[in-house]
Structure 1
Amino acid sequence: MLSRRAKRLIWLWFALWFALCSAMRPLPAVAQPVPQPGAQPAPTPPAPAPSGEGGDEGGQGAPAAAPSAPAPGALAPGPQGTGAQGPAAGDAPEFTDTLPPTEGEQARGQPVAKVVIAGNRRISTEDISAYLGQIRVGRPFTPEGLSRDVRELWDSGLFEDVEIDLTRRDEGVHLRLLVRERPSIKAIEYKGNSEVDEEDLTEALSAEVKTGTILSYAAIRRGVQKIRDKYAEEGYFLAEVEFEVVPQKDNQVTLRFTIKEHEPVTVRRITFIGNNNVPDAELREVMLTGQDSLFNFGTGGPFRQDAFERDVLVLNALYYDRGFLSAQIATPRVMLTPDRTGIEVTVAINEGPRYRIRSLRIQERDADGREIEPLGGRRRLREMVRAKQGDWFNRAELAKDLAAVQTLYRDEGYANVEAVPDTQLDPEQREVDISVTVRRNQLVYFGRIEIRGNTKTRDKVIRREMEIYETGLFSETKLERSKRRITALGYFERVDISTEQGDDPSHVNVFVEIGEKPTGTFQIGAGFSSIENFIATAQVQQANLFGNGQSLAIQAQISGLRQLVDVRFIEPYLFDSRFSGSINVYDQLRIYDQFSQTSMGGSLTLGYPIIEPQLRASLAYTLESNEISTSTTSTFLGTASAVSVFQRLPLANLFNDGVTSSIRPALTYDTRNNQLFPTAGIYLQGSVELASKYLGSDNQFWRYRTTARFYYPITDSIVIKLNSEAGLVTSPDPTGVPIFARFFLGGIFDVRGFYLRSIGPRLPLRATLDENSPPISNGANIGGNLMYYQNLEFEFPIIDAVQIRGVVFTDLGNAWNLEQLYCNAAPASPYDASNPCFTFSRLLNVRTSWGFGIRWFSPLGPLRFEWGFPFAPLPYEESNRFEFTIGNFF
């Protein structure tokens, strides 16, 4: 048996031999009609152009279709293969010669007996047969049908070549289709892309070219344009893209794109034409295109097509809001500068006339078109729309007012209320008539309320924050408040509420889609100081314990001078009621410069909402045992000696200790959008703590505290925060307020840039009663009866993708002594900021600092790295201080 290669060589030899013989055959003589005298010779008809259809992207074309049947009146083959036509009467016989019919013509009409498909490897024979509609087995064979089927195969884009072998047999026509498949794309690679990620390029390319698909050069060229368009969106208009097809095994290829990004094209100038009433500056102010940023250094920023399209819409809206209802913004012209490094944008504007409001009428009509009394009366409805006769038309203000009208109706259950404005323009008078028709439609009730996405948090934790319930009357405001309350829990990174029609038009189903985030944090901090040596703090907190909405926190601190263990549990809905409860148990040892304090005890707190959910009242009871020591005290990390001189001076009453039993009523107003990481809202709290002998307390004092926190978002990611706290503590006991109940400031938790608890009144005492004894270094800090501090922060994103933010802050605060006993105990302090003798003028003597920091909302919790710089440090204070911890500030 001959191999396929040998058969092809034989077939090619016969084809060449037939072509050579045809070229050497003399052309047949064709009889020409005898021209009549004076007649013009008939023009020679042009030879028909050879038929043939090119293939895709320069590949081999399909075989030419067989010649079609002769037209009527044309020469037809005679019985012997000649083209003779019967002679007319009186004419001399004429003789012609034609080519013999092709195999296809000779097979015309015979049935197709067999069709064999060969050469396919990835594409199945059944898939190829689906393209063959005319040359199926059993059908009559025609050359035209063969041409159509071959064209269908070629147009599929799956093959580089299609060959046809035709053999006539007694039983019919045998056809053999030999195909050569195009390679498939094994992988797509990119080189030279540093400004656009591969993921973004693959996404842009996916509409045309993907891995695993058949190679198509036309699709690749379209993909190249997609990549250029992607770079143009990022401002890289000069980006060049080339591709290379690298063959691989198994008829596969690797498609490699090489990119030369060049420099981004920046906006050099924006020119407005036709803006006679709105200045250029106001138009540029609302545009993103051309806006400079911190990192563009005055270049005007890169040009982005998506931002530019948004700008055109914003410009239209600006003119409509100014009353130019006929304004038209033509398609802007964008041109490269001659050096091809910048873009000049020209925006043509046809402002048209500016319209004033001639009349404005708002009315409500029923389903039959009759005017009826609106909700709240006609006067209230008209007052909700602030526009009046003679004002310039403002579409944005009108839309805002109509939204308020719709909210009024939706809060009463009319979820499908319509408030459609109709404007009639009078170009000659430049006035507009506005008519607003309100149609309330039918009442709507809440149907099903479904919660989705909560894999950990139980449904009841979310439902109890919602102000709506199934079968309840629809209310848009309650729906929005429900979303805010769920978000304020701090358990979720995303809360989306959507509605759709229920089982009938009178019901609407509510779907709450949430995305949970980790609510457990492990907070840790560490540092060094010349006094405490190594300091370590740790806190484990779960804000959504077992998905029940409960909070459990365990805190521990340890150092050479400090030990603390604190456990706190909070139940926001005690026994599924509106009451909240919490319990706190602690055991702590603190060693200060002049004394040590050991406290062990706990507290119980009960709360209740007065105005749900913003205003709450609470009552806390605290019972603790305090022990003040002026001798050597041991901690887990070693032994520390708290050598106090107070025990030998008339200040020993500072160290009163014993049992403290107190109650603390408090009032809290909270509108923050998130309890853990707020970015908007207000937090206010005022409290009074009473420790009295009537409660069984050895120590007696009244302690007042107020806290005010404000959060104002400048943008979606930039927030200004203000925190302020004030406190006052007094005692009916002649010995004064015990030292553990007084106020000490300084450190990363109140006034940054200063050492921990170092701010406040100081007594310049000597070590003994002997006047010649050395003074206590820097004085003895005794804490204050009155304190105030505030923190102002400007928080902004640095790397949003990994939640790294920056902060710039300034702090202010001090503590003052109000008890004359300590003022008379020693000479006045040389520094007004730490003088123990109080006067109202000294309220202005506050300590101030500024600083900056980095915050990372890591999986372990929010990390804080902050550098503080006192504005006017005292001689014994540091000029700057770095501190870090894990945990939110306020």
Structure 2
Amino acid sequence: MRALLVVFTILGLSPRVAFAQGGPPAGTPKEPAAAQAPAAAQAPAAAQGDEGDEGEDGDADAPAAPNGKGAAAAGASPEEAAQPVPTLAPTEAELARGQPVARVVIAGNRRISADDIRAYLGTARVGKPFTPEGLSRDVRELWDSGFFEDVEVDLTRRDDGVHLRILVRERPNIKTIEFDGNQNISAEDLTEALSVEVKTGTILSYNAIRRGIQKLRDKYAEEGYFLAEVSYETVPQRDNEVLLRFKIKEHERVTVRRVTFIGNNNIPDAELREVMITGQGSFFDFGTGGAFRQDAFERDVLVLSALYYDRGFLSVQIATPRVMLTPDRTGIEVTLTINEGPRYRIRQMRVYERDAEGKEIEPIGGRRRLREMVRAKSGDWFNRAELAADLGRIQTMYRDEGYANVEAPPATDLDPERQEVDIIVAIRRNQPIKIGRIEIRGNTKTRDKVIRREMEVLEEQLFSESKLERSKRRITMLGYFERVDISTEQGDDAEHINVNVEIVEKPTGTFQVGAGFSSIENFIATAQVQQQNLFGRGQSLSLQAQISGLRQLIDVRFFEPYLFDTQFSAAISAYDQLRVYNDFSQTSLGGALTLGYPIIQPELRVALTYTLESNQISTQTTSTLFGTAAAVNFFQSVPLANVYNDGITSSIRPTITYDTRNNQLFPSAGIFIQGSVELASKYLGSEQQFVRFRNTARFYYPIRDWLVFKVNSEAGVVTSPSPEGVPIFARFFLGGILDLRGFLLRSVGPRLTLNQTLDPNARPFNNGTNIGGNLMYYQNAELEFTILEQVGIRGVIFTDLGNAWNLERNYCEANPASPFSATNPCFTPSSLLNVRTSWGVGLRWFSPLGPLRFEYGFPFSPLPYEQPSRFEFTIGNFF
């Protein structure tokens, strides 16, 4: 038996393989020198190494000696020529070639199992014939796995074959990843960007670390920090683990200074910049072009190409943009080179339908209707967006008839010489498709029934794309879900398609709190607890309370959108409230019942509300279920009896509502219009008689993803057949955070000047008293923009306008006119121009408890007794 050590040592980044050399084992007789030379000469070149190759190359042209040895060099003496050529003895690995591998031992591994290591071995397996080349490949595979810092192999030849001992030294494990120097990007975001390459609990890999560093630089580049530097260090820990720390130098943020276009002869620079994100800063970039983001820039290149396609430039090419840092290294300049190419006109436009055999057939609606749905005609400039929109309408028409797999691919044939294009659209309707299963996923609280009743498609009905889109809009409008996705997939057979409704629920309970101060009421607190999706049934239940020294209210409301599983909706409310104003107090105890029905589901609805309540108007102490409170009234000695009428009010109020908002709770698109007429008549058992008209219109338009323009307006008129006029509780009072911001609550409107006593020569009260108006109008215009989208913080800039006017002559003729035109109780048509205006700014936080509003209002022309500004806050959405 012969034994010798063969060592494979891998250090650094590439393996270095060494075969240890040595003589025969003890006890083996030496062979004569003359006998060793032929043996060495017969050794394979792989065992002789580079020296053998060099000798062979150097003597390639020398004649062979009769005995097979090379001839002596020219000029050599006979003694030198007679000396034998030196050779190397074969390595132990060469001597083991062809012998079977008898045993393989894995040593040094701690975390990686021996079986996992053996999986990398191809030749070094028990029973396989041994070859040095195969062993080298196996060692290379182990090294390339990235798990080891060192690999050694011991080889021993024995009677039963080759015994191998593979000794490995594992690379350390990453215990913790830390970031040092990151000020503008959180460690969580950096960890997420790094996780593709490097994670805690994995084997330390320097190649992966280098790739991870590039990922971190890319993350900083996305935020505009192109000069960010990232390095790393490893800190050894116990149990062959390391702490991996990335050191970051962020430097200043790099902004886009200028975007330059070259070659745009037909579309001006301003129009190209308008469709780009790059170079357009947000509200908080303070005049700079905003940060450069690679993903946004790639999107811009695609949008520019699409813009040219829409203008007919079908051969446009946009070269690779050039991005250069400015000399001060705080900004970049972007240059885009555009090769517009020719502009194409439409030579032929043909749209038709064919069957499976390619024959033309009559399309749905007829050939004329089909052609009229495409606006493009011969001689027009080609417009890809317009053509795509028209073909989309055609496909929708077919899909609404059940042909879900309709095909309408446009084929274009360019004629560069004449700069014309032929467009052929061959429609194939394929077979009609029915709805298979409707699967609802993601609803852990909301019952399937609540979602299914908003669906306009049913199982086994023909497929309809428009109905699916309306179904999604109706489910979204419920306001119960953060996201609603409707997708389709192949059904159980070719004639069916399954519909998947995937939702993400959000909290539907809100707790609204508001607080404020006034010189009369001191501190005011309001609270409302509301559940929009009660027990997941789609019902709504709310409890509202207002508590202060002079105001107390409790109101309970319940709403059922589908009464007894019909299209009728029902709402019921009960309330008990005490309202103590500057000049009177009002106690109301009653309730209301509402029935509704959709005329056009879900946009147009009608409703009828019956209200029965008992109203008490007083200038004295008043009590409710909450206790008693004394009215602070400056006119107790001069009560306005005709205004302070009270008693039973029984009224009906029909309402019609048109609503296309994308979300009922937090809309960002759509319109809301509502009109109502409330009639309180003696024929309904009412002691108070009046007719009150109210109209509300709201408009929402998303200018950008982060910017929404919103308008809210409301107008109202109330009259009474009674000679006493409209009771004060049915009149309109404006002012405060819910209508005209910047003004004191219920302080805007006509004011009546009264003396402190019945003596006509008595001193009048300062500023008079607000008696409310018969006619009212106000509007709010807002620009709502995103500040921190992740936490739901938005800003708002607003302007408000409105006023209330008195139409009843008895108040105008009974007292001297107010010195201010905006509060004069005497109405003329020109009084409509006397409106109160304000502007302001605010913050809104969509917190888990509900939307918080902090708003600061500034009247444009405050009256002498009004404050120049007013700060208010509440929890709850405005409109």
The yes-or-no answer on 1:81 pairing with 2:71 is no
Q: Is 1:698 matched up with 2:687? A: yes
Could you list the per-position Cα deviations for residues 378-411 of structure 1 after superposition, in whole angstroms to 9, with x for gaps in the alignment?
1111111111221111111111111111111111
Shift of 1:532: 0.7
Distance 1:337 1:733 in 2: 78
Separation in structure 1 between the aligned mates of residue 669 and residue 99 of structure 2, nearest angstrom: 85
2:226 maps to a residue whose letter is: F
The alignment status of 1:322 with 2:277, answered yes or no, reads no
Give the match for residue 422 of structure 1: 411
> For residues 705-720 of structure 1, what are the structure 2 equivalents within 5 Å?
705-720=694-709
Matched, 1:227 2:233: no
Alignment CA distance shift 1:769-1:396 (3 Å): same
1:645 and 2:653 are equivalent in the alignment: no
| Residue 309 (structure 1) aligned to one of 293, 298, 302 | 298
Instruction: Name 1:4's counterpart in structure 2.
Output: none
Q: Which residue of 2 aligns with 1:175?
A: 164
Partner of 1:489: 478
Distance change in 2, residues 1:57/1:98 (3 Å)? closer
| Match in the other structure for 1:300 | 289
Cα gap change, 1:266 to 1:738, in 2 (>3 Å): closer
Within the candidate set 61, 67, 89, 2:16 is matched to 61
Aligned to 2:463: 474
* Equivalent position of 2:522 in the other structure: 533
Equivalent residue for 1:362, pick from 331, 351, 373: 351
Alignment partner, residue 561 of structure 1: 550
Q: Give the aligned CA root-mean-square deviation in angstroms.
A: 2.7
| C-alpha separation in 2, matches of 1:594 and 1:346 | 70
> Which segment drifts farther, 333-342 or 494-503?
333-342
Letter in 2 for 1:412: E
- Residue 442 (structure 1) aligned with residue 455 (structure 2): no
Q: Is 1:66–1:144's contact at 8 Å kept on the other side of the alignment? A: no
1:210 alignment counterpart = 199
- Alpha carbons of 1:375 and 1:114: their partners in 2 closer, same or farther (altered >3 Å)? closer
Letter of the 1:640 partner, please give it.
A
Q: 1:192 to 1:460 in 2, by over 3 A?
A: same
Question: Does the C-alpha gap of structure 1 residues 143 and 388 become closer, same or farther in structure 2, counting only changes over 3 Å?
Answer: closer
**Equivalent residue of 1:653, what SS?**
coil
Letter in 2 for 1:396: A
Runs of 4+ residues deviating >6 angstroms:
76-79, 84-87, 89-94
Residue 485 of structure 1, CA deviation: 0.7
Partner of 1:353: 342
Q: In structure 1, what is the equivalent of residue 114 of structure 2?
A: 125
Q: Give, in angstroms, the shift of residue 153 of structure 1.
A: 3.0
Query: For residue 613 of structure 2, what is the aligned residue in structure 1?
Result: 624
In the alignment, what sits opposite 1:40?
none
Does structure 1 residue 552 correspond to structure 2 residue 541?
Answer: yes
- Aligned-pair CA distance for 1:491: 0.9
SS in 2 for 1:862: strand
**Paired letter, 1:752:** R
Q: Tell me, yes or no, if structure 1 residue 459 matches structure 2 residue 414.
A: no
Shift of 1:237: 2.6
1:104 is the counterpart of 2:93? yes
Residue type of the alignment partner of 1:406: Q
Q: Any conservation in 2 of the 1:192–1:260 contact (CA below 8 Å)?
A: yes
1:273 equivalent to 2:262? Answer yes
CA distance in 2, matches of 1:302, 1:98: 70
Q: Distance in 1 between matches of 2:164 and 2:584?
A: 107
The corresponding residue for 2:715 is: 726
Judge conservation of contact 1:60–1:160 (CA < 8 Å) in 2. no
Whether 2:801 is the aligned partner of 1:812: answer: yes
3-state SS of 1:405 partner: helix
Comparing 140-149 with 718-727, greater Cα deviation is found at: 140-149
Tell whether the 8 Å contact from 2:255 to 2:332 is kept in structure 1 after alignment.
yes
Q: Matches of 1:362 and 1:463 in 2, distance apart?
A: 38
1:759 maps to a residue whose letter is V
Give the deviation of 1:833 after TM superposition.
Answer: 1.3
Work out the CA distance in 2 between the residues paired with 1:466 and 1:453: 16
Cα distance in 1 for residues equivalent to 2:681 and 2:655: 18
Q: What is the Cα deviation at residue 785 of structure 1?
A: 1.5
Shift of 1:354: 0.8
Given the superposition, is the C-alpha separation of residues 187 and 701 from structure 1 closer, same or farther in structure 2, using an over 3 Å criterion? same
Alignment partner, residue 403 of structure 1: 392
Q: Percent identity?
A: 74
Q: Pick from 843, 846, 852: which aligns with 1:863?
A: 852
Matches within 5 A, 1:789-804: 789-804=778-793
AA aligned to 1:555 is Q
User: Which shows bigger deviation, 216-225 or 96-105?
Assistant: 96-105
> Could you tell which deviates more after superposition, 485-494 or 417-426?
417-426
Paired letter, 2:601: E
Please say if residues 163 and 179 of structure 1, whose CA atoms lie closer than 8 Å, have aligned partners that are also in contact. yes
* Alpha carbons 2:637, 2:757 under 8 Å: kept: no
Task: For residue 272 of structure 1, report the CA deviation from its aligned partner.
Answer: 2.4
Q: Are positions 1:259 and 2:248 aligned together?
A: yes
* Alignment match, 1:612: 601
Q: 2:147, 2:704 → 1: CA distance? A: 53
Corresponding residue number in structure 1 for 2:186: 197
State the shift of 1:469 in Å. Answer: 0.8
Q: Residue 148 of structure 1: CA displacement? A: 3.5
Inter-CA distance 422–172: structure 2 relative to 1 (3 Å threshold):
closer
C-alpha distance in 2, partners of 1:170/1:719? 86
Alpha-carbon distance in structure 1 between the residues aligned to 2:740 and 2:503? 38
Sort the Cα spacing of 1:855 and 1:777 in 2 relative to 1 into closer, same or farther, 3 A: same
Q: Does the CA contact (< 8 Å) of 1:62 and 1:151 recur in 2?
A: no
Is this contact kept in 2: 1:632–1:643, CA < 8 A?
no
Listed as ranges, the gaps of 5+ residues in structure 1 are 1-10, 16-51, 68-75
| Aligned partners of 1:816 and 1:836 also within 8 Å | yes
Residue 459 of structure 1 and its aligned partner are, at CA, apart by 1.0
Counterpart residue type for residue 123 of structure 1: I
Report deviation, 1:274.
2.2
Structure 1 residue 336 displacement after superposition: 3.2
**What secondary structure is seen at the aligned counterpart in 2 of 1:442?**
coil
Residues 852 and 160 of structure 1: is their aligned pair in 2 closer, same or farther, counting only changes over 3 Å? closer
Q: Verify: 1:757 aligned to 2:712, yes or no.
A: no
Q: 1:392 aligns with which of 381, 386, 402?
A: 381
What's the TM-score, normalizing by structure 1?
A: 0.89
**2:835 maps to 1:880:** no
Whole-angstrom CA distance in 1 between matches of 2:833 and 2:176: 71
